[in-house]
Amino acid sequence: MQELIEKYNIEKTFYKRYFEENARQRLGMEMLAFLLFKKGKFINPMKKNEILKAYIKEEIENFYDKGELNIPQIEFCITTKCTLKCKDCCALIPKFNKCKHIDMSFEDYKLYLDKMLKNVNSIRHFVLLGGETLINPELTKMIEYACSLEKINVVQLITNGTMKFSNDLIAALRKNNKKVYVYISNYSINEDLKPLLKHQEIIGTLKENDIKYQIADNKEWVKEKEFSDTPDDISTTSKKMYDCFRTQCNQVLNGHIDICSKAASARELGLLEIKDSIDIVNSKNLKNDLVDFYKNNYMDACKSCILSDEKIMPAIQGE
């Protein structure tokens, strides 16, 4: 591997964010497909590292020798409206309550997705989220469209478990149950939220309709400390960004691609000046912009972002 890194002069951030993350998502989606969708073959967990190395090598060769560009994971935030008001929301969603919420229309969704797919070979892990995703009235159409696209490998729908699924959404998920699955956030450790959560009802409905799902582990959150008034220097920012797990959660919000949901919301709310997000529609060379995006080791939002390791109760509600 080191020989390829030296041959192509691959910087460590690009290696991690693009090649390593593509390999990780590729393996993860293949294991998920076998476990949930009964597709493919069993992958021995004991050989995970060996397989990852082989996939990284393939990704490097495909990028440099074949000109391939694969998006490891992309999140489409289709609404900033939510059924909860979590004080420590890592996407800063409650702050939209004091300004104009963003609802992605199906037309815009298709516009953004089509342009991205014209410029890449695949999206390995495609995520629909909010806010609370089920609030968007065009979610069913969005699910149907994403599942119809060959370049998208797996579709994930995230919900906070407070809303029932409509009959139309159930039908779309059942129809596409070899490609889409539901991920249910789990805040049940927070006693105050138990009256709002509909986990058993949702899971029962999904099981009845052979819709694949996962429910998150019931665990603590970290306190959201938002942004510093004093931006970090380049060296500190680069290290902070390299170590942050959220850099895999690249998000589309209101037609722009940002490093994570917190950055996307900060840009839309005017909390930070962010110049390095990608304007999907107005990009003159989206493929090049995406490559540069993955190569960047110093993102605007990361300069002021405060990382936290302070553990708190999940989903504490604010006003």
Would you say residue 317 lies in a domain? Answer: no
Question: Last residue of a domain, which of 66, 92, 107?
Answer: 66
- What is the Cα–Cα distance from 257 to 263, expressed in whole angstroms? 10
pLDDT of residue 182: 98
Domain hosting residue 122, numbered range: 70-312
- The verdict on 103 and 10 lying in the same domain is no
- pTM, whole model, 2 decimals? 0.96
- The verdict on 25 and 103 lying in the same domain is no
Number of domains forming the structure of the chain: 2
Question: Last residue of a domain, which of 45, 66, 87?
Answer: 66
- The verdict on 56 and 203 lying in the same domain is no
pLDDT of residue 123: 98
Tens of pLDDT, residue by residue over 43-85, are 888 889 999 999 999 999 999 999 999 999 999 999 999 999 9
pLDDT of residue 43: 86
- The verdict on 242 and 166 lying in the same domain is yes
- The verdict on 256 and 112 lying in the same domain is yes
- The verdict on 50 and 156 lying in the same domain is no
pLDDT of residue 298: 86
C-beta separation of 146 from 152 below 8 A: yes
- The verdict on 159 and 262 lying in the same domain is yes
- The verdict on 84 and 201 lying in the same domain is yes
**CA–CA distances in Å: residue 45 to residues 23, 105, 200, 235:** 15, 41, 30, 36
Tens of pLDDT, residue by residue over 155-205, are 999 999 999 999 999 999 999 999 999 999 999 999 999 999 999 999 999
- The verdict on 102 and 130 lying in the same domain is yes
Banded model confidence at residue 27, pLDDT cuts 50, 70, 90: very high
- The verdict on 6 and 126 lying in the same domain is no
pLDDT of residue 39: 85
- The verdict on 136 and 263 lying in the same domain is yes
Interhelix angle 167-175/139-148, nearest 10 degrees: 10
Tens of pLDDT, residue by residue over 232-251, are 999 999 988 988 988 889 99
